[in-house]
Amino acid sequence: MVEKASIDDVMKVLIASRKQEMQQLWSTCSHLVAKSGLPPEVLAKHLPIDVVAKIEELRLKSSLARRSMLPLRHPHPDLGAADMEDQKIRRMRRALDSSDVELVKLMVMGEGLNLDEALALHYAVESCSREVVKALLELGAADVNFPAGPAGKTPLHVAAEMVSPEMVAVLLDHHADPNVRTVDGVTPLDILRTLTSDFLFKGAVPGLTHIEPNKLRLCLELVQSAALVLSREEGNNHNNNANNSSNDNTNNPNTSASATAIYPPMSEAHTSSNLDSRLVYLNLGATPQIGDDDSSSQREAMNRHGSQGGGCDPSMYHHSHDF
């Protein structure tokens, strides 16, 4: 049972087993802590010094045992800085796979693990549960809008490609930017619109044949709503700045007139967004008829939406992620 506990809990059990003289539990916990890879200075913050010394002794014995099994003509190479970082990332991913965010926290605090460079959030979105992603975000050590790899995808791009409403929602709750662009100028909204267009007019999405219409619709609604809210907030800030400028220049009628017309109540982009949302509500999951004029006009409308934001190819969203 203790093998499934977080490393933080294992250390607590280790101390308790020592006090109660439970040798078998002590042995199990001490080996688990030794295998965690946490450096002595981090362990010393949670365990007595003599316990840390015993764990280091276990590590030394384990290391000597492994080296004795290696052929003499192939000595164990010294680990360079890059190898050490790779080991950290592998340990971090194992911790995330087992939902042990506390161990990741200890690695950040004690070993200087950079969650952005390790692409911790991207990995968690793609491979872990919503609870793990939420806990990782709440550590406050990861940039929710960090671009990964040569494509520059953020975690929200990854969640959009996965068509995962729960991942999209938790990222937006922690201030993911729905308008952020990849190197090719593609936003998460572009991805979802293209997938919707494919689903409506082709019947299936390459690589996502299991796609669920309701999940796709919900993802699109979430990202569209977030983009609209962000646009309105920026508009309000712009209006406030314009009003302040107008108050400072009341003696200049030209300046005042221009300030009041800076941001109209509803832009064409908002109208287009609402129209796009209505189109999804009406048609998602419907099968178009060949020769139907309405279907053709809707296809042209969706294709125009898909072509915005950098002229992206729909198939680019259906491959494995570049990080």
Q: 117-134: per-residue pLDDT in tens?
A: 999 999 999 999 999 999
Question: What average pLDDT does range 157-175 have in this prediction?
Answer: 95
The mean pLDDT of the chain is 73
pLDDT of the residue at 225: 94
pLDDT higher at 250 or 131: 131
Most confident of 80-84, 87-91, 231-235, 263-267: 87-91
% of the chain residues with pLDDT over 90: 29
- Which pLDDT belongs to residue 309? 42
Least confident of 242-246, 252-256, 266-270: 266-270
Asked whether residue 215 carries a pLDDT value surpassing 50, the answer given is: yes
In the predicted model, is pLDDT for residue 314 greater than 60?
no
Q: Identify the residue with better confidence: 213 or 182.
A: 182
pLDDT at 242 over 50: yes
pLDDT band per the 50, 70, 90 thresholds, residue 138: very high
Q: Identify the pLDDT of residue 263.
A: 32
Averaged over 288-295, what is the pLDDT? 42
Task: Give the per-residue pLDDT at 31.
Answer: 83
Candidate from 121-135, 209-223, 276-290 with smallest mean pLDDT? 276-290
More confident residue, 71 or 21: 21
pLDDT grade for 286, boundaries at 50, 70 and 90: very low
Residue 299: the pLDDT is: 44
- pLDDT over 70 at 161, yes or no: yes
* Whether pLDDT at 70 is above 50: no
> Band of the pLDDT at 59, cuts 50, 70, 90?
confident
**Is-above-0.75 flag for pTM?**
no
Compute the Cα dihedral for 315, 320, 321, 323 and give only its sign. Answer: negative
Half-sphere CA count of 27, side-chain side, radius 13 A: 2
- pLDDT category at 40 given cuts 50, 70, 90 is confident
Q: Answer yes or no: is pLDDT of 264 > 50.
A: no
